[in-house]
Each structure stands twice: as C-alpha cells, then as structure tokens.
Amino acid sequence: MHVTPQQQAEIDALRAERAETRRATVPALEDVLYQPFPVLDHGFVRVVDYMGDDAAIVQAARVSYGRGTKRSRDDQGLINYLMRNAHTSPFEMCEIKLHVKLPIFVARQWIRHRTASVNEYSARYSILDREFYVPSESQLAIQSSANAQGRGEAGVGEQLSLAPGAAAPRGARRRAAEQARRAEAKGMQESLTEDAERSFDQYDSLHAAGLARELARIGLPLSAYTQWYWKTDLHNLLHFLALRIDEHAQWEIREYARVILDLVDHWVPLTAKAFRSHRLGGARLSEEGLEAVKRLLNGEDVDPAALGMSPREWRELRATLGLPED
Amino acid sequence: MHVTPQQQAEIDALRAERAETRRATVPALEDVLYQPFPVLDHGFVRVVDYMGDDAAIVQAARVSYGRGTKRSRDDQGLINYLMRNAHTSPFEMCEIKLHVKLPIFVARQWIRHRTASVNEYSARYSILDREFYVPSESQLAIQSSANAQGRGEAGVGEQLSLAPGAAAPRGARRRAAEQARRAEAKGMQESLTEDAERSFDQYDSLHAAGLARELARIGLPLSAYTQWYWKTDLHNLLHFLALRIDEHAQWEIREYARVILDLVDHWVPLTAKAFRSHRLGGARLSEEGLEAVKRLLNGEDVDPAALGMSPREWRELRATLGLPED
Amino acid sequence: MHVTPQQQAEIDALRAERAETRRATVPALEDVLYQPFPVLDHGFVRVVDYMGDDAAIVQAARVSYGRGTKRSRDDQGLINYLMRNAHTSPFEMCEIKLHVKLPIFVARQWIRHRTASVNEYSARYSILDREFYVPSESQLAIQSSANAQGRGEAGVGEQLSLAPGAAAPRGARRRAAEQARRAEAKGMQESLTEDAERSFDQYDSLHAAGLARELARIGLPLSAYTQWYWKTDLHNLLHFLALRIDEHAQWEIREYARVILDLVDHWVPLTAKAFRSHRLGGARLSEEGLEAVKRLLNGEDVDPAALGMSPREWRELRATLGLPED
Amino acid sequence: MHVTPQQQAEIDALRAERAETRRATVPALEDVLYQPFPVLDHGFVRVVDYMGDDAAIVQAARVSYGRGTKRSRDDQGLINYLMRNAHTSPFEMCEIKLHVKLPIFVARQWIRHRTASVNEYSARYSILDREFYVPSESQLAIQSSANAQGRGEAGVGEQLSLAPGAAAPRGARRRAAEQARRAEAKGMQESLTEDAERSFDQYDSLHAAGLARELARIGLPLSAYTQWYWKTDLHNLLHFLALRIDEHAQWEIREYARVILDLVDHWVPLTAKAFRSHRLGGARLSEEGLEAVKRLLNGEDVDPAALGMSPREWRELRATLGLPED
C-alpha cells in the first residue's frame, strides 16, 4: 500500500487549505501539492513545499528588484544560455521539498547526493511497517541473464552480448523459453518475499522480547521501505536527475527520477525544457572525439588510434553519432 | 539612497500582487515581503521569498504526513529540544531568500559562510552606482583609539570597558575632549568620502576612455556597495547570525545580522525564541570550567591553574558567571 | 574475520615502503599507517593517508610562510583559543583518509555527515562477502529490557540508571536472572545469525540463477558488512566524533568513533586535547540555565519555572552541575 | 615584490627539511613544494601540502587494500573512464593546499567556489602591505576599446575578431595608432597607480590617527593584494580550473588557473591528461546540436530553426565544428 487511508485523510485535509501569498506561485504545481505519486510497489514521491519558479531564475541572474521579464520567450532564451554555459547559481535560487517513501537500497544510492537536506524516519525509535520491495516478474525476468534469450528490450548488458548475426529463438521454442523465464522469475519473487517476511517475523519477535529497536532491525532486508523528507535546490535536483535517469543507474532509482522529472515539468517548464535539451540529451565530445568529428565532416578518413582514442571510445563515439559500427 | 524611486515602484508593484497557495504561509512575514529594511547609509535587506514555518520543522522532525501539531506549546517544546541537542536537520527544512545591498568589505566577510546560494551583481558587465559606505561620526569616534584619551585598547567595546567606578573625564575637560573627538571623526569622514569620490571619478573616466569594466573597477574602494540575492536554510542562517551578531564581529555586519534576526522573529517565532535562549544567550563551559563551577557551587576554593585553566580562561569564566575579577 | 591473509599481505607490503617527503609528517601516525584496527566482530578502521599536523593549524590561522611556532605550549594556547571560539577554518586545513569496514546500518548513520568524500564498495557490480554483524551476548543483554526484570526503560544506560541505593537482586535470585538473561541473549544471537545466513544463501542462489547483482542483494540484511574509503577534514571529523561518541548515539557507531578518536590522539595531540576539554567535556548552558547558575553562586534560591525552564531542563541542568535531584 | 627576503628564507628553511613517510608521495611535486610561482605583478601560488596521487584515485575507485595497479597504462584507462562518465568521487580522494597571494577582486571571484577551505590574512587585525595590482601596459591596451579604433566591441578577444581578410592598419598609420594606444595605456596605468597610492596613504594616516584597522581599510582599492591558504580536493580543483581557465573568465584569474594547472601536471599527470582531453578540450553538444551533426555527417542539409536552434546556437555550433560561417 502506498499510503494508508489515515495518511490520505491527513493529506486531503492539507490539500483543502488555502492561504493568500505574495510569493511566486506555480498553479500547475499547486494542483498536485502534497499528492503522493506511486513509485514501485509501495513507494511514492510527493511535493511538500517549493520556492521559486522560472521567473525567479531570471530575476536572480539579473539581480533585479521586480519579477523576471513578462515575455516567456526572453526567459527561455536566458535560461537556455545559463544551462548551456554552466551558470548554475541562478538555478540554486529555487528550492523543493519532497516526501519520499523508498526501499533502503535505493535510499543508499540517493543519499550519495550530499547537497540536500534530509530527515529520515528513524528505525532506532520507531517501528518500521512491514513493507518491502519485491521486483515485478518482468523486472526479474529482464534482469536475469538466463532469460536473455532474445527479447529486444531486455536488461542492461543484453544487446551487447548478442553477437551481430545471432539467430533469435522463434515460434514454439520461443514460447517455451518465455514460460521458463516466467516460472523462474516467479520463483525468485517468492524466494525474496518469503525471506523478507521471515526477517520481519524475526524483527517482531526480537522486539516483542524486549530488544531495543535499534538492534532488532539489523536483520531487516535492504528491500524494506523507509521514508524521508528530502529538500534540495533546483540546480542540485537537476544534477541528481541527470545521473539517476541515466541508463547506467539502477532501474528502481530511475523510476523515482522519472516521476520527479515529471514534477519538474509542472514546476519550472522553461528550465525543464532547457535541461532536456542541454543536459539529458546531446553528448559530450572529448578533444579527440571533436577532432574526429571535424575530420569526418571534412570528408577525411579517421584513424582513431592516431588520434589517441581507445577502441572503446571510438565505438562509443560512433554510436553517439549514429554511425554504423566500424 | 537605499533604493531609487523606480526600484521602489517595482517593489510596490510586486507587493500589490496576491496569489492563492496550499503551501505553509506566514502572514507576519508576508506583511513585510519584498520591503527593503535600511542598513547603514545606503544598504538594505529585504526578504524576496521563503519556504516553511515553525510547523514545518516539527513536521520534518516527525516525518509526518500532515502539518505539525496544532498546539504551539508542544511545538515550542520540541523545537527547544532540537535546538538544545543540536538536531539541526529539521531546521534545514526552512529556506529564505534575501536581497541584500552591502559594502564590499562586508560582503567579503559574509561570503565566508559557504552553505548558501549567491547571485551577485556583476561589476564585470554592469556599471556600479556611485555609492559607498561612510561610517557615521559616532562610529568613527567609537572606533578611534585617539578618542579614548590614548588608551591603546579602545575599540568597539570602549564604553563597556569603563569599570563602574572609573573616573571619567568631567565637565569642561570632558566637553573639550568630546569636541576634539568629533572634529577628528569629521576629518576622517571627509577623508574617506573624498578618497572614494576620487576613485569613482577615476572609474568613470577609465570607463569613458574605453577600458573594460572588469578592469576599470579595480581602483574602487572596499566601501563601494554591491548587492546580491542570498539564499540559505534556517539552520545555516542561525549559524550565520550566531557568529555575526557576536560582539567580536565587525559592527557593520552586525547591523545586517540584527535586521535579519528581526525578520526571523517574524518568520519562525518559536525557533527564534529557542535560538535566543540556547544559542545567542547562555554560555559554553569547558570541562575544566564546568569542574570549577561544580566546586564553586559546593563552596570550595578553586585553583584555576590546578584545574589546567589559563589565566585568560579563568578571567573569561568569572565574567561569564558574573563574578567579580579575582 | 577482520582482514583476509591476502589483504594483510597487501597492507604489509605497503607498510614496508618508505619515501622521503618535505611535507609535514607525524611519526606517531606513520607508525600505525595502513594498519587495520578491529571494531565489532568483523569491522575495522585504518588510516590510509593524512595531510597536516597541529602545526599546520597554527600556520593556517596565521597565514604564515613557514611552519608554526617551535614552542608547543604556544601552539596549544592558540589551538585552545580557536576551539573555544569556534574559529573552525584552521582545523579544516588537516585532512584524513580512512578505510572502514562496517555494517550497513552503521554506514547509514555515518553517511548523514555530508562534508566528506566517500567511495563505497559497490554491491551492484561486486559480490559481497558473507560477513554480517552479530551483537555479542553482552550487548544483546544490555539492550534487552527483558533482562532488566521488566523495567520498560532499560536499554543502553541501564546500569547507569541504577540509583546509588537501589536494591539490586542478590544471591541466588540474581544468578538465576543472570542465567535467564544470558540464555535469552544467546537465543537472539542464534536467531539473528540464522536469518542472516539464510539471506546470504538466497543471495548466492539468486546470483547463481543469473539475477543481476544489484537485485540479488536486496534481501541481504542491514547487518551485512560493507566498506568504504572515507575522507574528511579535521574540523568535520571532530564534529562527527562529538555527535557519534555521545551516549545518545547507537553503541555500534560509538565503537567506531572511539577508535577514530584514538587515532586523532596520535595525529594531532594538541587538537585532541583541546577537543576533549572544549567539545566533548563541559556543557552548554542556555540563557536561563546560566542565569540559574549565577543565582546559585550568589546563594539565591532558584525557581526554574519563573526563569522559564521546563522541569526537564531543570533536571538536566542539575545533573550537569552535579547537584542532587530537587 | 612577490615574497620578501625574509619570507624566502622561511621557505628555504622549510624546503631544506626532509622526513620519511609511508604515504603516497609524488617526487615531481615534492621538487617544487613550498616554492612560490609568480603570478601578475606581486602575486604567487605555492603548494604547501598535498595528499594522494594518480594511484590513490584508482585505489579509491576499487576500494582496494593496497596501491593501485603497477601498470600506468591501465591506470590511465580507468582514470579516463572515470572522467568521461562523471564518476567524480575518486578524484575527491586527493587533496591539495595552496598558499596564494592575489588581488582582492580576484579573491572575490575565487571564493565563489564554495567547496574549499580558506584561511585569509585578516585586515581587521593586521596591517596590509602596500601592494596592489597594476595591469601591464599591454593588458590595458588589449582591454581598451579605444585601441580598437573605436570599435565598441573590442575587449578581450579583440585580435580574434579581426576577420581573416580585414584590412588592418598598415605602415605609418599603424605605428601611430600603436603609439597612441601605448600612451593611453600608460596614462591609465599612472592613474590607477596614483589613486591606489593615495588610498594607501589615507589608510596609513587613518591608522596612525588611531582608527581601528577594520575601518581604516575600507578605502583601500579592490586591486590591493591579500593572501590566503586555500585547500580543496582534486575534483573541485578541476572544476575550478575548467571554469577559470575558460576564456570567459577574467584574464587575471586565468593567470592563476594557468599556473595551478601546471602544478596539477606535476602532481597527477594521468588525471591532468584526462582532464585536458575530456573537460578542457572537446565540446558539449545539445540534443539539437547532436541531431544537426548527425544530419551533416549523413550529407543532409540542416535547417537550424526547424531543429529548434537559435541563430546564436547555430553559429556557436558551426564554430565548434570548425565549419565556416553560414
């Protein structure tokens, strides 16, 4: 369950309140304020407070007395410029506070971003709810190498491991493989569930036997859910998103990043647009990579080794440029 | 001039706007939002935005779904507890953004507080207004040792250091000394003003001669005014205030801190109260100092050297405890 | 096992190397460089690198060209002064890098200190060793309220909370209680061990079945060991120690803090002394608390409520001052 | 004068000392340890201490017990990989401490980098030496638009903006223009020098008249020299260098960055190489820019507007790719 009925009631009560303010206000974000957006099987993200908007970034960049310009086209141009040239301080002028419920192993990756404020629910003093993350069958299937006989989507390294000309299984054989894959994923799910249930049973009984909470919880699994208030500024939030939306990040934290980016779209649409174009999309070319591109554009042959590029760099560059493998 | 009529008009326009919000809102701070509060001869502080209130601190400390408690007495108790025990993270959940106009030498002390975001008016690209800080006659008199009839120590705390029964100069002699002091302070004022005017003249003519702004400004004095947007969380703001309200801080930055603390009173009154009691007031005793206090309370004689206290520490401890000098 | 023979061999090889340097060097710390100091059942702390010494702090405070003074008495005085007056930046001039092996639940508390650099062993890409923390029987006994003959409070400070004259169970009854306590603690130990073993078994089999490591590990317990390189400056290290040596911290992290403080004694003995006296020892009095002390020293009666102190604050103050309960 | 003979003597004494250490040591950096490298007319940079080397980065990335690999080719590959993929934490494991003497206006730009520790010489308590920065004639000439025959644009990049075929003034006319330019630069130099001298005269006389140092100094120019100890980790140092070596940075701070990068070459040559290739060199393409490159490589015509690129972005992209203007 993502939130209990009682928690939802508290949230609804809060959402019903209104106050008048002179501050910069973003109606599109107000609409979803306090609402929990589900992530994974029991987690959520909800915006608890925010400060600033796109205009505040423009205002800060100009150190002006009033609001930003009234013409959003000018604002977009300035925000693009700031993003492109790594003028990051104006983006620090906006702040957001989230309430997040997430598995502990995700929390451990998340907390590596140090430029944020955190208040976490304490398992030293409070009882943890019996809630833990169990990956879906399809996640387990995708992430399991045994299953990787051929679905195009598949897991992290799968495509790379398929030799160019490999014949993918078809027809009956394919269906059988699919079934085996499902059965195995189901088995994994059950195993993870049982083990977590058993650890929570132990937690309950140690606690019932009078062991301090801070010790009783050490047997709980990394999949147990925790929750926290997490507050950061927009610049650091975008940095977090850039790293955690990336396909190298673990799928579970990417799910949180995906939901948060959607909230950023509501909050600061001009900045979100610039971010997608200049940080999420596109590519960074090394000095050698840029030199190679110049030569290619000039119609020259390129010898990557002569430029000082490793075979891996060269392969990555060609992929980036949409060129066929060498 | 603290703000120009045009700037005031922009501020008034902003103050006239209202929006509806679901966010935590503090009417007492809304009342003064955007308003410049004068500091020194041309400076100001104004609140440009804020996030959170006393209840948000309670809410974060409890990682709860709704607002804090409705009973402010309980909130005060919890906030006192957090303050007393250095549980600082809930205070990080509130954020404030200030627009500050301040002399450069004050800005240089201010920026030493690193946990904040800053956007400063750029003298590389923009022309600086001809505004610079000139200390008042009384400030110059207080800070000038000559006025202290040659007591080399003098300085900020001069008046304070006059022991209750000290024979202060009286009557005619006193008036004459006072006059000399004023005359000298006036001379210093004129000297500082003339020199700053001359440097601004040079700035103008170098600029007129086509020198890049970033170079033309290097002759400007440290007393020239700059301005910035400065944003920080409540925990770091209180830390800033604790250090900058302290009597060891330079008088000019203390003036800014004094005005900001007043704004904090408007914003988070429960926290401001706890801060005054547990951080601004009171004292920190060292292990040896505490031991000395225990012995004094027990009616014993105390030999500071035997306890490992230096004469200076002992003197400071007696002053802290309101005991007469040894 | 704290380190494997192969790891010890790598460490020994490193310890055998010597180089000549012009940098500030601390022989007492060099003596123990790279050596793992055991903590808990499988953990350790070892110093991997360091920068600066007590003299570097003095040198930074003076922004001087050469070393600090040659007279350590002067250095101690200055360092005490810096510590007493919260002039923290000179302490930031020393840096230390530790390699720490620690249970994940300890790591989660540790990482809350954000002003440090961390490289953690990755369970996404690497296999975790089958090592987990199991509290000793005596820890479990101390932390279990059942052992306290049903006193719900119990916990860490149990023994301390025995009032001087309290009638402790004696003789045969005591021995029986003690035996029961041991038996229960042993049962808890076995339960924690079994559950962790089972989770590691699952981890192995999920991994063997081809599940990605990043998912296979989510069932592992919070007691599993991880390890990291952790680097911080002396100021932030002392702040960490002040919070984590405190009796409110969980016993397990206090064990790490205790060992690190011992290493700080080797590294910067003057600073360590000042730290014990001005930060670890002694006390902070609130404005009201200080007022109460002044009155007590003046022989007056004190009405805590009239001063605005809660009963709890008053009780804590009396304890701090070594006064009997009211 | 960059350092006084007495300061040099202190430095020499320090350089003459040697100690034995087990720590990672970099002979090429030891060679220049403590030596001041002149920057501008009176400034310098000198390395006062350091921690770690290229191998420490590898070691941290692997969380290993011994040193990094012995094969520097593997280390280079790993370091390139870390740099390319923004895995920044291993670079945080190296630390450097610099002693820098620099004009205040440069210090104000420098301090904007917050992730560093600073101890600055205090003009509140100490007398500042009569030293201030006066730009060289050639700097003033380059930065002065008058020299560009009235072309308002001018500034830093003046020479660059001469279009390939532009008719530059020749012969006698050119020599006359050159002479006028020099005369004007000389005049600016004299003006800056006189004004600064006068401000220092005032500083001396206010101080002699007994005004507190903290007030006497407010008339000093932004060109006055200050000095500080500045300590940061390698990751943040590289970020500082990337921003401050950039041609958009003011020439004076670029001079400091240039000297520091040279010291980084001594310290961590593999990292310095990766930094030049992946951060200093090369380019970041936006999503639209990358799409344009793909089309160009595919031999297609590109309509920048249709791709959503502004004329400015398109112009910048063509310049980056070495293509002629549209």
For D294-324, write each residue's pLDDT tens digit. Answer: 999 999 999 999 999 999 899 999 999 999 9
Phi and psi, residue B229, nearest 5°: -90, 130
With a CB-CB cutoff of 8 Å, which residues 158-187 of chain C face chain A? 184
What are the tens digits of pLDDT across the range D143-201?
887 444 333 333 333 333 334 444 555 688 888 888 888 899 999 999 999 999 999 99
Is B325 inside a domain boundary?
A: no
Are A276 and A291 found together in one domain? no
Three-class DSSP category at C309: coil
Amino acid code (one letter) for B73: R
Cβ–Cβ below 8 Å for A228 and B52:
no
Q: What is the pLDDT along chain C (326 residues), one digit of tens a residue?
A: 789 999 999 999 999 999 999 999 999 999 999 999 999 999 999 999 999 999 999 989 988 776 655 566 689 999 999 999 889 999 999 999 999 999 999 999 999 999 999 999 988 888 999 999 999 998 998 888 744 433 333 333 333 333 444 455 567 888 888 888 889 999 999 999 999 999 999 999 999 999 999 999 999 999 999 999 999 999 999 999 999 999 999 999 999 999 999 999 999 999 999 999 999 999 999 999 999 999 999 999 999 999 999 998 999 999 999 999 87
Token pair of B21 as six digits: 């919000």
> Which of B303, B245, B269 is closest to B94 using CA atoms?
B269
**Residue C4, Cβ neighbours under 10 Å: how many?**
11
Cβ–Cβ below 8 Å for A117 and B19:
no
Q: What integer pLDDT is reported at residue B172 of this predicted model?
A: 86
Q: Closest approach of chain B CAs to the CA of D53, in angstroms?
A: 27
Are A187 and A40 found together in one domain? no
Cβ–Cβ below 8 Å for D147 and B210:
yes
Cβ–Cβ below 8 Å for C111 and A115:
no
Integer Cα distance of B57 and C53 in angstroms: 39
Are C143 and C75 found together in one domain? no
Are B105 and B155 found together in one domain? no
- B78: Cβ–Cβ under 8 A, 6 or more apart, which residues? B58, B61
DSSP bridge pairs for D47? D98
Q: Rounded mean pLDDT of chain A?
A: 89
Token pair of B62 as six digits: 């409890």
Are D159 and D292 found together in one domain? no
Cβ atoms of D93 and C117 within 8 Å: the answer is yes
H-helix segments, B170-268: 171-208, 213-216, 234-245, 251-267
**Looking at the complex, does the CB of residue D248 fall below 8 Å from at least one CB of chain A?**
yes
In order of B152, C5, C35, the CA distances from C16 in angstroms are: 58, 16, 12
DSSP bridge pairs for A95? A51, A233
Are C252 and C300 found together in one domain? no
Residue C50 per-residue DSSP state:
E
- Establish, for the pair of chains A and B, how many residue pairs have beta carbons separated by less than 8 Å: 141
Q: What integer pLDDT is reported at residue D40 of this predicted model?
A: 98
Is B247 inside a domain boundary?
A: yes
Residue of D nearest to A297 (CA): D297
Q: Closest approach of chain C CAs to the CA of D254, in angstroms?
A: 24
Integer Cα distance of D14 and D37 in angstroms: 16
Q: Closest approach of chain B CAs to the CA of A16, in angstroms?
A: 8
Integer Cα distance of C258 and C252 in angstroms: 10
Are D90 and D236 found together in one domain? yes
Residue of D nearest to B185 (CA): D211
- B237: Cβ–Cβ under 8 A, 6 or more apart, which residues? B96, B260, B264
Cβ atoms of D128 and D204 within 8 Å: the answer is no
Token pair of B2 as six digits: 């603290």
Are A188 and A165 found together in one domain? yes
Are B36 and B178 found together in one domain? no
Integer Cα distance of B97 and A162 in angstroms: 54
Please count the structural domains in chain B.
Answer: 3
Integer Cα distance of B168 and C216 in angstroms: 82
Q: What integer pLDDT is reported at residue C165 of this predicted model?
A: 47
- C82: Cβ–Cβ under 8 A, 6 or more apart, which residues? C57, C61, C88, C90, C91, C274
Contacts for B29-37: CB closer than 8 Å, 24+ residues apart: B29/B263, B29/B266, B29/B267, B30/A20, B30/A21, B30/A22, B30/A23, B31/B266, B32/B263, B32/B266, B33/A22, B33/A23, B34/A22, B35/B11, B36/B2, B36/B3, B36/B11, B36/B99, B36/B101, B37/B259, B37/B262, B37/B263
- C200: Cβ–Cβ under 8 A, 6 or more apart, which residues? C130, C132, C220, C224
Integer Cα distance of D246 and D284 in angstroms: 14
Integer Cα distance of B294 and C320 in angstroms: 9
Is D326 inside a domain boundary?
A: no
Cβ–Cβ below 8 Å for C143 and A105:
no
With a CB-CB cutoff of 8 Å, which residues 51-80 of chain B face chain C? 77, 80
> Which of B48, B45, B32, B40 is closest to B1 using CA atoms?
B40
Cβ atoms of C314 and C304 within 8 Å: the answer is yes
Integer Cα distance of A80 and A270 in angstroms: 8
Of C46, C181, C217, C244, the active-site residue reads: C244
> Which of B206, B196, B187 is closest to B130 using CA atoms?
B196
Cβ–Cβ below 8 Å for B145 and D210:
yes
Residue A313: its chain D contacts at CB < 8 A? 80, 84
Residue B281: its chain C contacts at CB < 8 A? 286-288, 290
Write b or e for each residue in A116-126: b if 16 or more Cβ atoms lie within 10 A of its Cβ, otherwise e: bbbbbbebeee
What are the tens digits of pLDDT across the range A77-97?
999 999 998 899 999 999 999
**Looking at the complex, does the CB of residue D189 fall below 8 Å from at least one CB of chain B?**
no
Q: What integer pLDDT is reported at residue D249 of this predicted model?
A: 95
With a CB-CB cutoff of 8 Å, which residues 263-282 of chain B face chain A? none
Indicate the residue among D151, D186, D211 that finishes a domain: D211
What are the tens digits of pLDDT across the range A278-289?
999 999 999 999
**Residue D210, Cβ neighbours under 10 Å: how many?**
18
With a CB-CB cutoff of 8 Å, which residues 199-238 of chain D face chain B? 199, 202, 205-206, 209-212, 214-215, 217-223
DSSP secondary structure string for all residues of B246-261: STTS-HHHHHHHHHHH
Cβ atoms of B60 and B89 within 8 Å: the answer is yes
Helices D72-84 & D54-62 angle (0-180, nearest 10): 70
Indicate the residue among D265, D280, D295 that finishes a domain: D280
Residue B286: its chain C contacts at CB < 8 A? 84, 277-278, 281-282
What are the tens digits of pLDDT across the range D20-60?
999 999 999 999 999 999 999 999 999 999 999 999 999 89
Integer Cα distance of A262 and A244 in angstroms: 14
Q: Which of B105, B140, B210 sits opposite D211 (nearest CB)?
A: B140
**Looking at the complex, does the CB of residue C284 fall below 8 Å from at least one CB of chain B?**
yes
Is A145 inside a domain boundary?
A: yes
DSSP secondary structure string for all residues of B102-166: EEHHHHHHHTT--SSEEEEPPTTTSPPPS-B----HHHHHHTBGGGGTT-SS-STTHHHHS-TT-
Cβ atoms of B261 and B245 within 8 Å: the answer is yes
Helices D234-244 & D251-267 angle (0-180, nearest 10): 140
Integer Cα distance of D281 and D269 in angstroms: 16
Q: Closest approach of chain A CAs to the CA of D316, in angstroms?
A: 11
Indicate the residue among D189, D211, D233 that finishes a domain: D211
Catalytic residues of D: 244
In order of B54, C22, C65, D25, D98, the CA distances from D31 in angstroms are: 56, 9, 17, 11, 15
Q: Chains with 3 or more CB pairs closer than 8 angstroms to A?
A: B, C, D
Please give the residue range of the domain that contains residue A33: 5-130+223-280
Q: What is the CATH number of the domain that holds D265?
A: 3.30.1360.170
Phi and psi, residue D315, nearest 5°: -65, -45
Q: What integer pLDDT is reported at residue D197 of this predicted model?
A: 97
Q: What integer pLDDT is reported at residue A159 of this predicted model?
A: 31
Q: Which of A104, A115, A156 sits opposite C212 (nearest CB)?
A: A156
Best B73, B248, B276, B278 residue to mutate vs chain C (most C CBs within 10 Å): B278
Segments in chain B below pLDDT 70: 66-73, 146-170
> Which of B125, B138, B142 is closest to B41 using CA atoms?
B138
Cβ–Cβ below 8 Å for C188 and A198:
no
Of A244, A276, A284, A312, the active-site residue reads: A244
> Which of B32, B52, B56 is closest to B44 using CA atoms?
B32
Is D293 inside a domain boundary?
A: yes
Q: Closest approach of chain C CAs to the CA of D252, in angstroms?
A: 23
**Looking at the complex, does the CB of residue A112 fall below 8 Å from at least one CB of chain C?**
yes
Are B181 and B234 found together in one domain? no
Q: Quote the pTM value.
A: 0.92
Helices A287-297 & D287-297 angle (0-180, nearest 10): 40
Is C325 inside a domain boundary?
A: no
Integer Cα distance of D27 and D21 in angstroms: 13
**Looking at the complex, does the CB of residue B99 fall below 8 Å from at least one CB of chain A?**
yes
Integer Cα distance of A320 and A289 in angstroms: 11
What are the tens digits of pLDDT across the range A217-271?
999 999 999 999 999 999 999 999 999 999 999 999 999 999 999 999 999 999 9
Residue of A nearest to D282 (CA): A287
Cβ–Cβ below 8 Å for C282 and B287:
yes
Write b or e for each residue in C72-83: b if 16 or more Cβ atoms lie within 10 A of its Cβ, otherwise e: eeebbbbbbbbb
A244 is catalytic: yes
Integer Cα distance of B175 and C4 in angstroms: 84
Q: Closest approach of chain B CAs to the CA of A287, in angstroms?
A: 30
What are the tens digits of pLDDT across the range D264-285?
999 999 999 999 999 999 999 9
H, E, C per residue of chain D: CCCCHHHHHHHHHHHHCCEEECCCCCHHHHCCCCCCEEECCCEEEEEEEEECCHHHHHHHHHCCCCCCCCCHHHHHHHHHHHHHCCCCHHHHHCEEEEEEEEEHHHHHHHCCCCCCEEEECCCCCCCCCCCECCCCHHHHHHCEHHHHCCCCCCCCCHHHHCCCCCCCCCHHHHHHHHHHHHHHHHHHHHHHHHHHHHHHHHHHHHHHCCECHHHHHHHCECCEEEEEEEEEEHHHHHHHHHHHCCCCCCHHHHHHHHHHHHHHHHHCHHHHHHHHHHHHCCEEECHHHHHHHHHHHCCCCCCHHHHCCCHHHHHHHHHHCCCCCC
Is D218 inside a domain boundary?
A: no
Residue D221: its chain B contacts at CB < 8 A? 199, 218-222
Is D44 inside a domain boundary?
A: yes
Are D96 and D234 found together in one domain? yes
Q: Closest approach of chain A CAs to the CA of D119, in angstroms?
A: 23
- Establish, for the pair of chains B and D, how many residue pairs have beta carbons separated by less than 8 Å: 134
Are C122 and C258 found together in one domain? yes
Give Cα A72 distance to the centre of its chain: 28
Three-class DSSP category at C226: strand
Segments in chain A below pLDDT 70: 66-73, 146-170
Cβ–Cβ below 8 Å for D95 and C99:
no
Q: Closest approach of chain B CAs to the CA of C70, in angstroms?
A: 20
Say which residue the tokens 């600033």 belong to.
A52
Cβ–Cβ below 8 Å for A25 and B15:
no
